[in-house]
Amino acid sequence: MKRLIALFGFAAVCFLAVRTLPVSAAENPPLVVAEGRTIVAFCPPTNDAELQKDADTNEALADFQLYATHVREPLKNAGIEFRELYAHSFRVRVGKTVSTFRPAKADIGYYFVVPGKRPRIEYGVMTDADLLHVANDYFGTQAK
């Protein structure tokens, strides 16, 4: 009887483990569809405990969010889509091609992309003025 109960318990644990594995494996990084001029501002996800423990991370995140808020409207007026993602990686679809981007140099940065042109990646927090300057250079626009 004890053997049967132990076997049943083992089977239940295996069943639960198998049921949870596909959910985790099925999770994909966020997808950005770039139909035109697009900037993806990327930053790793953080929680309150991490922010309280590391003042530099807290300040970088605050700056990242502040400049994103300031640049959103000028980019929209210039016809540039601006996406803000909090993920370790993301996927970008340009036409029928989907590629996965994983930051190589730093966790925070900006991914500039437009169909027909190689993406441009800038690492680190950029001010709104710097973002507009790079957007103008990369896209050939005059966002103000």
**26: in domain:** no
CA distance 142 to 144: 6
Residue 123 within a domain: yes
Q: Mean per-residue pLDDT for 59-76?
A: 94
Backbone phi, psi, residue 134, to 5°: -65, -40
Q: Is the pLDDT of residue 30 over 50?
A: yes
In a domain, 23, yes or no: no
Phi/psi for 19 (5° steps) reads -65, -30
Which pLDDT score, from 0 to 100, does residue 12 have?
A: 39
- When divided into structural domains, the chain yields a total of 1
For residue 19, give the amino acid letter: R
Residues 70 and 122: their CA atoms lie apart, in Å, by 18
Q: Tell me if 96 is assigned to some domain.
A: yes
12 within domain boundaries: no
State the pTM of this model: 0.78
Q: Is residue 74 a part of any domain in this protein?
A: yes
Q: Is residue 126 part of a domain?
A: yes
Higher pLDDT, 16 or 91: 91
Write the CATH number for 122: 3.40.30.10
Q: Which residues contact 121 (CB under 8 A, 6 or more apart)?
A: 101, 103, 109, 110, 111, 112
Domain enclosing residue 43, as ranges = 31-139
Please check whether residue 77 lies inside any domain of the structure: yes
Alpha-carbon span 13 to 140, nearest angstrom: 58
In 3D, which of 16, 132, 6, 136 has the Cα closest to residue 67? 132
